[in-house]
Amino acid sequence: MHGLVLVAIIVVRLLAYWANKQATHAGRAPPAWAMSLVRTRAVAPRVIGFGVRGVFWTWAWVIWLDHGANAWFCLCVIGAFPQLVLRTLLIPAGIPHAAYYFTRVLHPQATLGETRGGAVFNELRARLRWGRALSPAALERLARRVVTFDTKGTDLRTRAASLAARAMLDALTGDSERARELFAVVQTMHFRHAARSARVYAQAWLLSDAARRGEYHEVIRLSERGPYTVRRVFMRGAARRLLGQAQAPGRWQLGLLWLLSPGRVHSRSLLKLALQRPARSKFAATARDFATAQRLTLELLRLPRGLATRSELAELARSWQTVFESGELQDRLRARRDALQGSFDIERVGARFEREVAAQLTALVPTTLPDGEPEAELPMLFLTALDQFQGDLLGELEELCRTLPRGDAPPTDDLLQHWRTWARVRTLAARLTDTLPERAHLIFSSIGLSTLNHGAWLYNQEKARILAHDVFRFLLGIAPKGDPNWQTIRQNAKLSQ
Amino acid sequence: MSQHALAENPFLVLEVAATATRMEVERAGQKLLAQLALGVASAKSYKTPFGKHERDESAVRTALSVLRDPEQRALCELWYTDSTASGEPNAPLPSWSDALRSIGWRGPCTG
């Protein structure tokens, strides 16, 4: 009986392996049944996965009771459940090369399409567990051919695990900024192109990296996207408490989340920090005069990054707006001009000071989280600061998108560079969406067409189907439904899946 | 105008009040230049609302030249806040030192 179950599991794995081979094979339409094996709804593989694991553990228990286990049987189990062996044994053990060759030989289902990328991803996770074999030469060997086109010229073998591996290598070599950009793309990739383990790892890295730098407002932003995990909920709760937000969970609630989240030994220190942090009192303008506005500006600037709220910024802008409109500033400048016996133009100095205040507000905007206050109720000075922030970001985005190849541009054969550029575009767009969600629609009107053409070029000229799909999927999220290109984007996204 | 720019306000660099006369400003600047030339330790830093900042001869000279121009001085006066009145700067938010270890990352990671 046990033998039959074992054979059945191996047959199913072989079929899944073959189906994936077929589905990732370029230039030939895979059979429909093969596609249905590897392309299912997100819930289905998860439910099946849990079911299979449940059966496996029950079965292992029964065998343990029967004392019928032997070496051949253990090997068969390893062959049938390589991902389980990797996750529970090889990665925690951290033995150099073991996870790499195990992945290459046994092809775990999670990273099936990515022979080398998946192996490097698992190998790096194993090495990092104990910090072994991380010399520059060792990393350089691993970095070879991780994000490249395959022998048929397509990018079907470069998916989330390969990109996560590349991001890990970037972080290890000190390029944390590029690592963040790549991880950010990985965590939001479509499940058909991204193993859940890679997406979860990317999200965990980004959250931990932001917390490591003390950027808890960034933790809250990051926790709004990517796979739904307990770690993400726990860290968002801890960050909210550290920032003294009203929506922060209670002590017991946070404690429970910590108990349910992974990595409890190390995350206990975060729990302690969050529980010890006293609630902060909000700043309020007691009067609308120059001295109050100046004091409030200083107090907000002296706060640690991320602690100031959007409503406090708006309050500050209202104070300054009143000062500028009341003529108090001009009176002050006139008095000083007379005292200094100068001859400067008061209006010019006043306008310059106003620009500097707006610039100060612009610098503070990205460190605050949106609170849903409608823009119609915001003072003009604050809107100027928001416009400045938006203009700077969109300017950078447009500049970047202008350089994206499109139309008849020849293929470059540099997949890594394409992914890096795209990751940069996604990062800048996310910065605007996170900071000013009510203005997210402007991204499409600003870079929509150039990005759509770039996606088409990637698909047609470069045969980078996975990357093209990410481009179209991103556009689908920001394009207004009434846009004439919406149907085209939808069809392209479907085609490139 | 950033936090850094505010901390480099010429009045803070020269440690004079915004109401100081031209003579007082010049005297304070010359005194600091002399102290810096002699390597007096107390002259090498100054207090700002955002904590202590480094001071060197070029910062003092720049501050003096800015305050000689009435227009620029008037603008600096608007941004000036007495660092002694504002108290100690706020401590930064505590960073989570075990963050990367919690995901099984024991390698280097900077920046």
pLDDT digits (tens, 9 = 90+) for B50-89: 888 999 999 999 999 999 999 999 999 999 887 666 666 6
User: Residue A42 — pLDDT band, cuts 50, 70, 90?
Assistant: very low
Q: For residue A411, what pLDDT is reported?
A: 86
Report the Cα A336 to chain-centroid distance in Å. Answer: 51
CB contact burial A143-171 (16+ within 10 A = b; e otherwise)? beebbbbbeeebbbbbbbbbbbbbbbbbb
Tell me the angle at which helices A328-340 and A290-302 cross, rounded to the nearest 10 degrees: 100
pLDDT band at residue A351 using 50, 70 and 90 as cut-offs: very high
Establish if A149 touches chain B: CB-CB under 8 angstroms: no
Q: Decide which of A362 and A62 is more confident.
A: A362
The residues near B39 (Cβ < 8 Å, ≥ 6 apart) are none
Lowest-pLDDT range of A338-347, A462-471, B42-51, B83-92: B83-92
Contact A214 B109 (CB under 8 A): no
Q: What predicted TM-score, i.e. pTM, was given to this entire model?
A: 0.84
Q: Can you give the pLDDT at residue A108?
A: 79
Contact in structure between A316 and A284 (CB atoms under 8 Å): no
Q: How many angstroms away from the CA of B41 is the closest CA of chain A?
A: 26
CB-CB under 8 Å, A295 with B95: no
Place of tokens 């020269």: B14
Distance, CA of A384 to CA of A378 (rounded, Å): 10
Which residues 183-202 on chain A approach chain B with CB closer than 8 angstroms?
201
Residue of A nearest to B22 (CA): A340
Could you report the per-residue pLDDT of A48-99, keeping only the tens digit for each? 656 665 666 666 666 666 656 565 566 667 767 888 888 888 899 988 888 9
pLDDT at A19: 62
pLDDT at A408 over 60: yes
Cβ–Cβ contact A272 with B under 8 A: no
Nearest to A340 among B74, B90, B106 (CB): B74
Asked if residue A240 has pLDDT above 90, the reply is yes
Contact A266 B70 (CB under 8 A): no
Question: How confident is the model over A280-299, as a mean pLDDT?
Answer: 82
- pLDDT tens digit sequence for B42-52: 999 998 888 88
Average pLDDT over residues A38-49: 52
Residues 6+ away with beta carbon under 8 Å from A470: A185, A189, A190, A193, A422
A vs B: CB pairs below 8 A: 145
Q: Which residue has the higher pLDDT, A271 or A73?
A: A271
Best mutation target, B9, B72, B96, to test chain A (most A CBs within 10 A): B96
Write out the two tokens for A23: 């589905």
Amino acid A373: pLDDT: 81
The b/e string for A266-305 (b: 16+ C-beta within 10 A; e otherwise) is bbebbbebbeebeeeeebebeebebebbbbbbbbbbbbbb
| Residue in A153, A243, A225, A138 with CA at minimum distance from that of residue A189 | A225
Kindly report the average pLDDT of chain A as a whole number.
85
Q: What is the pLDDT of residue B58?
A: 95
- The pLDDT value recorded for residue A353 is 94
Contact yes or no for B81 and A298 at CB 8 A: yes
In SS3 terms, chain A reads as: CHHHHHHHHHHHHHHHHHHHHHHCCCCCCCCHHHHHHHCCCCHHHHHHHHHHHHHHHHHHHHHHHHCCCCHHHHHHHHHHCHHHHHHHHHHHHCCCCHHHHHHHHHCCHHHCCCHHHHHHHHHHHHHHHHCCCCCHHHHHHHHCCCCCCCCCCCCCCCCHHHHHHHHHHHHHCCCHHHHHHHHHHHHCCCCCCCCHHHHHHHHHHHHHHHHHCCCHHHHHHHCCCCCCCHHHHHHHHHHHHHCCCCCCCCHHHHHHHHHHCCCHHHHHHHHHHHHHCCCCCCCCCCCCCHHHHHHHHHHHHHCCCCCCCHHHHHHHHHHHHHHHHHCHHHHHHHHHHHHHCCCCCHHHHHHHHHHHHHHHHHHHHHHCCCCCCCHHHCCHHHHHHHHHHHHHHHHHHHHHHHCCCCCCCCCCCCHHHHHHHHHHHHHHHHHHHHHCHHHCHHHHHHHHHHHHHHHHHHHHCCCCHHHHHHHHHHHHHHCCCCCCCHHHHHHHHHHCC
Mean pLDDT along residues A9-38? 58
Q: CA of B85: which chain A residue's CA is closest?
A: A295
pLDDT of residue A245: 87
Contact A136, A117 (CB under 8 A): no
- The reported pLDDT for the residue numbered A357 is 93
- Confidence class of residue A428 from pLDDT cuts 50, 70 and 90? very high
Q: What would the mean pLDDT of A208-234 be, rounded to a whole number?
A: 93
Q: Who's near A136: CB < 8 A, 6+ residues apart?
A: A173
pLDDT at A234 over 90: yes
What mean pLDDT comes out for the span A253-268? Answer: 93
Q: Inform me whether the C-beta atom of residue A89 falls under 8 Å from chain B C-beta atoms.
A: no
The reply to whether A174 touches chain B by the CB within 8 Å rule is yes
Most confident of A47-56, A104-113, A154-163, B53-62: B53-62
pLDDT band at A41 (very low <50, low <70, confident <90, very high): very low
| pLDDT, greater one: B98 or A73 | B98
**Inter-chain contact B86–A298, Cβ cutoff 8 Å?**
yes
The percentage of chain A sitting over the pLDDT mark of 70, rounded to a whole number, equals: 84
Region of poorest pLDDT, from A81-95, A116-130, A440-454: A81-95
By Cβ distance, the residue of B92, B98, B109 closest to A266 is B98
ipTM > 0.95 (yes/no): no
pLDDT range class, residue A32, cuts 50, 70, 90: low
Length of chain A, please? 497
Read off φ and ψ for residue A33, nearest 5 degrees.
Answer: -65, -30
What pLDDT sits at residue A27? 45
pLDDT at A233: 95
Tokens of A233: 């909920």
Task: Return the pLDDT at B92.
Answer: 80
For residue A214, is it left (φ>0), alpha (ψ between -120 and 50) or beta? left
Q: Could you tell me the two tokens for A131?
A: 């910090």
pLDDT at residue number A342: 86
Which amino acid is present at B10? P
A chain contacts of residue B105, beta-carbon cutoff 8 Å: 128, 205, 208
Residues A368-387 have a mean pLDDT of 89
